[in-house]
Amino acid sequence: MYQKRLPGLMITEVRDASLPREAEAILAALNSNEVLVPLSEEGEALTSVSFANRLEKYGSQRLAFVIGGADGLSAELKNSTQWQLSLSAMTLPHELARLLLVEQLYRAQTILQGGKYHRG
């Protein structure tokens, strides 16, 4: 559903057992023009409107949101970025985190376009 509504959305899965190898694979998969945004319970918690405003500041830059697996993300990966995002102070299954992130990306798009989806 959201993929049709967010035509620029691209989901890439990197699976590896060890955090260091996973971090290497994630960094290798990034393009040089992409901004890495790891999702972490220690990250910045934003309202939907604040998230939309943050995305707007990046303009046409491509953002690469990274959701960790069962073991999370390596400290090296999280510390190599300017911004970490938190969807919740709780630990979430990565499938649920992906759904929440994509919904918030869609919500942010409608907020910035003045749509009626967001009623907050």
pLDDT at 25: 86
pLDDT at 111: 95
Residue range 23-32: mean pLDDT, rounded: 87
pLDDT at 12: 72
**Chain segment 39-91, per-residue pLDDT in tens:** 998 899 999 999 999 999 998 899 999 998 888 899 988 988 989 999 999 98
Q: Which range has the worst mean pLDDT, 15-19, 26-30, 68-72, 89-93?
A: 15-19
pLDDT at 117: 84
What is the side-by-side strand order in the sheet with 34-45? 62-66, 34-45, 85-86
Alpha carbons 109 and 23: distance in angstroms, whole number:
29
pLDDT at residue 16 is higher than 70: no
CATH topology of domain 2-112: Alpha/beta knot (3.40.1280)
For the chain, the domains span 2-112
What are the two backbone dihedrals, phi and then psi, of residue 15, each rounded to the nearest 5 degrees?
Answer: -120, 130
Pair of tokens at residue 86: 């938190």
What are the two backbone dihedrals, phi and then psi, of residue 34, each rounded to the nearest 5 degrees?
Answer: -95, 140
User: The pTM is what?
Assistant: 0.86
